[in-house]
Structure formats: structure tokens, C-alpha cells
Amino acid sequence: KVSFKNMAETSLNQMSQGGWAAMLEHYFISAWIPPSAQDNQYYSEVQGNGHFTIGVGYPEVHVAPGAQVSQTATLYIGPAIAENLQGLAPHLAQTIDYGWLWFISVFIFTIMKWVHTYVGNWGWAIVITTIIIKLVFYPLSAKSYRSMAKMRELGPRLKQLKERCGDDRQKLSKATMELYRQEKVNPLGGCLPMVIQIPVFIALYWVLLENVEFRQAPFILWIHDLSVHDPYYILPVLMGLSMFLQQRLNPAPTDPTQAKVMMFLPLMFTVLFLSFPAGLVLYWLVNNCVSMLQQWWVIYSQQKTKTRQKT
């Protein structure tokens, strides 16, 4: 993959057997595919008028007088749909760039396409696939939520420790670790299960960003194109609200400055997501809502268990 910036700095000049040359424009691709058995020269040029060229130079051909020589090639111009590209040339489907987590993205999109065959709507396919992923990771999420619930219960005691220790950070740190040891709470217990899930959700992000199937794909009501931003900005506002509500379930940071920053995050993400594709915001909204339900259920179950133990 060669960016325009790299092409402007250094011209491509490479020999390769078979291969292909393609120019990408997000959802669309034009690809020139020469015969796979011959050695071809791949090159790039930048004209003075700012036009970029990438192409294939065939090997020299000698034609005897009166003889005929024919050469073939395949030209594909159209949407970057994996099924259309896979049969044309090896690895041509990888022009749909999911980044270094492409193998996870391909698996997720396979599930999403399977869901789409039943629901017939890419918006609902996003919703259902997100829920499926959240259910698969529920055991890890539940462990994280249980840890956060315990941290929330320790909130008042941690505040008392801070008041007692004052500005003596070393004493506060020692007392805090002792409290964690006594209550058998791991402060990192809520983070590790979430970190394990991050690659999957990054891969899902690229699926929603790169696939042409979402272009001009309607969802419901006012969402007529999942690949562009919500025209009325309803989804970003709902997403920001869901982030705010989710924060209310998490333990409040003991540091006042950190607490203010956390309260500001939903507003910052709402503004950031105003220009994001509606399909991506929809995924984030569903993910937040399902996370809240799972977290509420874990907290409710823990409280119910404690009530039984007391009685």
C-alpha cells in the first residue's frame, strides 16, 4: 500500500511475477491485473499538474513478421466488495483495508453478512452483531463489572482515607493498598477483562468504516444512509447520553480533577461523533446500552446475594 504522500516523495519501481496494481477511493477500486505467469514492472508517476499515476509495464514482446501475439489482462472498476475481488487475483480483497486486525474484521463481517441474510437491513445487522459480541464476552465483562461494583462500595472508605492522610501520598497509597488487601479487591480487576475485548471492537470499528455495503444503506426512520453522519444528530446525542448514564454505574474517581474530566468525556465524544458515519455511532450506542444492562444486572445480582447472606 503506497500513499499519495509516499508516491510524491519516491516513485514506485518494482518487478514482480503476476500481481496487480490498484487505485483506491474508500468504497471503490480500479485494479489492473496482468497475467500471473509473467514478470511485470510496477511503477508510479506524479505529473506536474498534481495527477498521480500507478501502472504496470509488461515485458518486452518480439513479434516475428507475419506472426500474431495476443496478451490479456483484467480490469476491474467498481465497488470494493470482497466476493467480487477474491476470484480476480490473490489478495486483491485485502484492498478493503481493515488494518492489522484484518482477520478479526473478516470474521466479524462474515457474521454480520449472515445476520443480514435473515433481517435484510444492515442497520439491524449492526445492532444484532453488536449484541452477539457483547453476549460472547459477557463472562469477561461480568468479571469487570463485579470488580467495579466492589470498588464503588469502597468509595466512601477511600474518601475517608484520603481525608485522614491529607497530602501524604505515600501514607495514602499504603493505606489504600491495605484496604484492597483486606477486602480482597483488585483495582485492576475491572480493566484487564475490558482490555482483552479492545481488539475485537477495534476490528468492528474498521468493518463499519470500510465496507461499501453500508453506503446508501437505510436503517429506520430518518437514517437513510449508514455511511454518512446522522442528518439530525439524534444518534450522537443518544450515544453521549448513554455514556453519561453508564458513568453513573461506575465508581467515581477519588481525584476531583479526574472526576471532572470523566464527566466531560460524554460531551466531548458527542461532539466528536457528530461527523461520524451513522452506522458507527449506532454500534457505539448499542454497545453502551447493552453494557449498561449487563452492568446493572451484575450489580443487582451482587446486592441480591448479599441480602440473602445477611438474612
pLDDT above 70 (res 182): no
pLDDT band at 293 (very low <50, low <70, confident <90, very high): confident
Cα gap 17→131, rounded to integer Å: 45
pLDDT band at 113 (very low <50, low <70, confident <90, very high): very high
The span from the first CA to the last CA of the chain, in angstroms, equals 65
pTM for the structure as a whole: 0.77
Cα gap 262→85, rounded to integer Å: 44
| Whole-number average pLDDT of the chain | 82
* b/e sequence 221-250, b meaning 16+ C-beta within 10 Å: eebebbbbbbeeeebbbbbbebbbebeebe
For range 180-202, the mean pLDDT: 68
Number of residues assigned to the chain: 311
- The residue with cell 444492562 is 293
For range 83-102, the mean pLDDT: 87
